[in-house]
Amino acid sequence: MLTAEEKKKLFRKLIYLFIFAYLMSNGPGVLLVNKPVLIAGIPILYLWALGWAIVQIALIIYAYYKLWRDETDDETAPGQSQPAGEGETK
């Protein structure tokens, strides 16, 4: 389990990496669009965008497991007392 300070540092690193990946996903489109290069039958421009989209998705999944999952588990922890009015049967 990460401390609050470690989570804050990790969050900042992930934000910077995500911004970098976002900027790179837009990338050198003009340079790639005019080249008829295909890799495995897919235009290189599509592969460029797909590759950076995979990086962005991986960063989000990593953030979920390292930062956000504990927060959602804390909110729905078993045995936690419910606020008045919730879960009551009549």
Number of independent structural domains in the chain? 1
Backbone phi, then psi, for 89, in 5-degree steps? -110, 150
- Residue with the bigger pLDDT between 17 and 35: it is 17
How many angstroms from the chain centroid is the CA of residue 81?
32
Query: The domain containing residue 11 runs over which residues?
Result: 1-39
In a domain, 20, yes or no: yes
Residue 49 domain-assigned (yes or no): no
Over residues 58-70, the mean pLDDT reads 88
At position 70, the amino acid (one-letter code) is D
Residues 18-56 pLDDT 10s = 999 999 888 777 677 777 788 888 888 888 889 999 999
Assign 3-state DSSP to the chain and report helix, strand, coil percentages, each to 5.
65, 5, 30
Residue 16 in any domain: the answer is: yes
The pLDDT mean for the chain works out to 80
Domain-embedded: residue 81:
no
User: Model pTM greater than 0.75?
Assistant: no
Residue 24 maps to a domain: yes
